[in-house]
Homo-oligomer: A and B are copies of this chain.
Amino acid sequence: MATISKENYLKAIYLLTRENGNRISTSVLANDLCVTNAAISDMANKLSKQGFVEYKKYKGIKILSKGKKIAVDILRKHRIWELFLVETLGYDWGDVHLEAEKLEHCTTNNLIDRIDEYLNFPAADPHGAPIPNKEGNYRIQTDDTIMSECEIGKNYTVTRVNDRNSDLMNYLSQIKISLNKEIKIIDKLNFDNSIIVEIDGINHSLSEILVNNIYLKESKK
């Protein structure tokens, strides 16, 4: 069985894999989970013995289908809880991540299926992240671009925001950045990797951290 800790490891491995390619290094994972490299080596052996990941000493970790299944299951629970908290209980979008992080591990499949139905089988969470269905398949395709790679002069709509930092989320709310918002890339400053954008006719300077946590799609107009 997968403990809470193992579920968190598999979730992190799954998400980092999508960002960083096929195998992920132990130190990238250690940094993400805020534990030491020693803890990662230890856990990698356990997960490997259980068939959740492939682990070769000094060669990094690769998630296997058995591990991916658990990771997607936890992501489904996480994202459905986030949406429930915003939609049904009126939470701000910046306040749901930590709650969902706890709830995802003590939620049965039956319970999450019922909430999924209650919310009418939503396709995305409050931050635009896609929600897997019961079978583990995503209901929408994500074909967005990270803001740091967007082009000067073009118009975009906000499709997704990473939700791990609630202060960051609150700041986005403050400058009126929300899902589906129209924004224009005015300038990209190379010396600090910040980007000047126009939102509701007002120019804002967004730091490197910000532009690496916002995803956009070119708008039609």
Q: Which residues of A contact B (CB under 8 A)?
A: 85, 88-91, 99, 102-103, 105-108, 111, 114-115, 118
Contacts and interface: CB of A to CB of B under 8 A. Distances in A.
Contact of A89 (B90, B99, B106, B118): B118
- Count of identical protomers in the assembly: 2
Nearest to A95: B110
Contacts of A115: 89
User: Across chains A and B, which 6 residue pairs bring their CB atoms closest together, nearest first?
Assistant: A102-B106, A89-B114, A106-B106, A103-B106, A99-B111, A89-B118
Given A88-B118, A102-B107, A103-B107, 15 more contacts: A85-B111, A89-B111, A89-B114, A89-B115, A89-B118, A90-B114, A91-B114, A99-B108, A99-B111, A102-B106, A102-B108, A103-B103, A103-B106, A105-B106, A106-B106
A187 B102 CA distance: 50
Contacts of A105: 106
Contacts of A99: 108, 111
A100 B145 CA distance: 41
